[in-house]
Structure 1
Amino acid sequence: MHLDVAVDILKKAETSLVSYRDTGFADAQTFAKEICEEMNVEAALKQKRLRTTKRQFSYEAPDEPITDALKKMEFSFFNVVVDMAIESLREKTGMMSDVAKKFSVLINFSDLTSSELEKQAKDLCNTLTSGDHFDLNYDELIVEMQSFPKQWPKQNMTTLDLLVFLEEKGLKEIYPNMWVALRIAVTTPVTVASAERSFSKLKLIKTYLRSTMTQERLNGLAIISINREISKQISDIEPSPDPDITVYREDDGLFGFYE
């Protein structure tokens, strides 16, 4: 999935959750009552006995307890869960939108004024510059965008669609800077889950019998296990710096030691 598509989907999900916050609890009550009727169960929540606690003198008045069980469930559980989901989406959407905004000039340049085009193109070139190394030439990129066919890009066109258009029409040599920028835009990962998946290897590496394993050794085994593709190229038996230890590789690519 590409950045512009992912940002659009996340914004729609956020809008859907905001709407669900207003109507979701009532819909859940209706659905729960239907299930209770099918199971011949009383559709009612029992209110727990309110506990009173001693309070020291304070200038602030205590909040009045909620006596309605449904209201308490809505405020203390439903709204809290949905608000956390909405805030998490907003945080992720905000970070991805900042990156996608840098590349938005590649598909919106036909709708921009000259000053806006120059400003956004400059921001994109600066983003893809590191020290003396740069991926785009600012002056050439402006000329390419200004000379691009007026009917392209079309409305609701993605960066991948425009990249495919340049490839099919054989225009990548005429618009080399746009070609490079579009390739970077479509290959920028939306999420990186390899680090998260690598944690599942820890329980295979550091077992109960290996509880005394040092941090250095654990790091080494984890790196070998995570980089499975590279580790497959290593021979099955490798000499170890320690003459009393032999390195072996199991069928699943996990390395271990014979002591």
Structure 2
Amino acid sequence: MQLDVAVELLKKAEVSLVRYRTTGFASAQVSAKDICEKMNTEAVLKQKRLRKTKRQFSYESPDEEVSDALKKMEISFFNVVVDVCIASLQERFQTLDKVQEKFGVLVNFPDLPNAELIKQCETLSKTLSSDGESDLDGRELAMEMQSFPSLPETSMTTLELLTLFQKKRLKEIYPNMWVALRIAATIPVAVATAEKSFSRLKLLKTYLRSTMAQDRLNGLAIISINREESRQVSFDEAIDAFAARKSRRGPF
């Protein structure tokens, strides 16, 4: 998953959830009625008896009770669930959006004015700096983007731009853009892959395999993590290669 693509998908998901909050409950009622008809069940939501709570002080205004069962379900359940989803989406990926703002110049540079382009390039150069040294020069990066030829498409992702650099052999002509694109394309969007890979360890290093050496553990972990590629490997060829390395010639 690429950083710019992930941020764009998250924004679309947020807009979709906001739209679903206004129209989703009505569509859910239609789906529920269809399911009830197939199950030969009456599509009626029973209304529970309203309970009144005793107020300790007379100046407390009692809440208005909702008599309609569907309206109460929409307010107390549907809207709450959707609002929690929207808030969680905004909170969890807030940092990812900030990172995309710094690397967004790599895909938005054709539409930026010169002053804004130089400003964002210098910001990116400061972001990729450590101990006073930066991986790229902001001024030179802006000059490379200003002199970059027209793109084959109006909008391209970082990986598509990186593929274009490799195909047209532009990395020596635009070295700063080449470095910035490689860094942007390798930024992890989520840690799910790393967590999944680390969880494989408890399946490999069990109590019965406590004496396993480090080299064998690394090899088994690589095979287990990259199981899709390992399934394409021919066992016969691997056995023959292993036998050729370990074979010993007998005495003549």
Q: TM-score, normalised by structure 2?
A: 0.76
Q: Give the 5 Å matches for 1:183-198.
A: 183-193=182-192, 197=196
Question: How many residue pairs end up in the alignment?
Answer: 212
CA distance in 2, matches of 1:34, 1:19: 23
Q: Give the 5 Å matches for 1:114-133.
A: 114-133=114-133
Cα offsets for 1:25-73 (capped at 9, x unmatched): 1111111112212222111111111222222005330211111111111
The change in CA–CA distance for 1:103 and 1:153 in structure 2 (over 3 A counts) is farther
Structure 2 counterpart SS, 1:178: helix
Report which stretch shifted further, 71-80 or 29-38: 29-38
Cα offsets for 1:198-238 (capped at 9, x unmatched): 89689x79xxxxxxxxxxxxxxxxxx89xxxxx862578xx
The change in CA–CA distance for 1:78 and 1:196 in structure 2 (over 3 A counts) is farther
Report if aligned partners of 2:121, 2:139 keep a CA contact under 8 Å in 1: no
CA distance in 1, matches of 2:198, 2:185: 28
Unaligned runs of 5+ in 2: 207-211, 218-223, 225-252
Aligned to 1:180: 179
Report if aligned partners of 2:122, 2:139 keep a CA contact under 8 Å in 1: no
Aligned to 2:27: 27
The change in CA–CA distance for 1:111 and 1:199 in structure 2 (over 3 A counts) is closer
Structure 1 residue 144: Cα displacement: 1.4
Among the aligned pairs, what percent are the same residue? 61
CA distance in 2, matches of 1:109, 1:178: 11
Q: CA RMSD in A?
A: 2.6
Greater percentage in helix: 2
State yes or no: 1:101 paired with 2:101.
Answer: yes
State yes or no: 1:38 paired with 2:19.
Answer: no
* Letter matched to residue 52 of structure 2: T
State yes or no: 1:71 paired with 2:71.
Answer: yes
Aligned to 1:257: none
Q: Give the 5 Å matches for 1:114-153.
A: 114-149=114-149, 151-152=150-151
Aligned to 2:90: 90
CA distance in 2, matches of 1:196, 1:53: 48
Aligned to 2:156: 157
Unaligned runs of 5+ in 1: 206-223, 226-230, 237-251, 253-259
Aligned to 2:243: none
Aligned to 1:233: 214
* Letter matched to residue 167 of structure 1: Q
Report if aligned partners of 1:137, 1:177 keep a CA contact under 8 Å in 2: yes
